[in-house]
Structure 1
């Protein structure tokens, strides 16, 4: 590792601590660079600005999670709802993968969820919910086409998207133990899937 990489890593390590303590808005680039034994010029050299520094902390874990979600949505698009039968645990792999990614860099996720106000990431949960709703709507429409006399309940679809995403947010914010999180998410996921299957459609009038 050359000195440039070492200096960049020092800034990221120190920034993570400062963001966790003070949040994005109150985080001082002067303190971060001082803690790293560098000047503020180094921050601008490596990251351009404070948003870029935050991105160096959260982008990698965030993008991994988004990739898994996109893959899941793509697989769901291929689902044949005329023959689909839900069985307990059929979404465990997805749940475990998401929890693993969330807890692989727990501090980065906490910064993203609780400490990113004032940054370009402050509405990240709303953006993920919107992404989820867009994809779930397509899936729910296919589900409705497979069941005569039913159509999508858009209110419940919107509500379920919020509940799905916030279930993972709540887990991360209230359960620091990875093993407990992995255990608990399975029951949560089963509840969510069963609820989705039973209430996402309503009778045609």
Structure 2
């Protein structure tokens, strides 16, 4: 059993290197097996095919980030329904956004090579559209929040195209960090400014100005 676990980990380690170098479509199972010192038959004992091997590298890290996002979205939904997000406590909302962002950034940099694999090398795999799926989850959440804000504050309904852009921007903030910023410490500084920008922009769409944030004058 111990030998099987070690063989599986060795195959994944060699696969990660191969996929990062060549991408999913050009990666060679034969090359991976040769580097791992096993036969192709041994690989098929652990993984159904190349796609299954690729997915095994990104599945758990991606699930962890999605869970953190969905928990945060659930908290925002509950806060909106209870009136907390409409009571003027914008600063507390920003603090919660920042805490969630730090947790996600930590996970992204804990498994940075695997997220780079997903973002840059997954073309042709079954998880090629994973980022688009996360964007769709964000889009649904922001549509709900925007409609609830509009019902309480008034004004015109925010257009679908704007909500779609906001969802993309939310995810692109993290994508940029993983693909362009080398250290978690630098990414945290970048995220600090990004969160401030996004929070102010969100409330600004509804006519909430910085001097109103935390004043109790939103509704």
Q: Normalized against structure 1, the TM-score is what?
A: 0.93
How far off is 1:84 after superposition? 4.0
- 3-state DSSP of counterpart to 2:157: strand
Gaps of 5+ in 2: 208-219
Query: Where does structure 1 lack aligned partners over 5 or more consecutive residues?
Result: none
Rounded to whole Å, the distance in 2 between the matches of 1:76 and 1:82 is 11
Structure 2: how far apart are the matches of 1:172 and 1:200? Answer: 31
The corresponding residue for 1:112 is: 118
| CA offset digits 1:106-162 (Å, max 9, x no partner) | 100100000000001111111110111011111111111111334233221111111
**Would you say how many aligned residue pairs link Structure 1 and Structure 2?**
201
CA RMSD of aligned residues (A): 1.6
The structural deviation recorded for 1:200 is 6.5
On the 8 A contact 1:16/1:57 being kept in 2, the answer is yes
* TM-score, normalised with respect to structure 2: 0.87
What are the equivalent positions in structure 2 for 1:40-79 lying under 5 Å apart? 40-79=40-79
Alpha-carbon distance between aligned partners in 1 of 2:114 and 2:163, rounded to the nearest angstrom: 29
Q: Normalized per residue, which structure has more helix?
A: 2
CA distance in 2, matches of 1:119, 1:84: 45
The 3 A distance-change label for structure 1 pair 33 and 106 is same
Q: Pick 1 or 2: higher relative contact order, CA cutoff 8 A, min separation 6.
A: 2
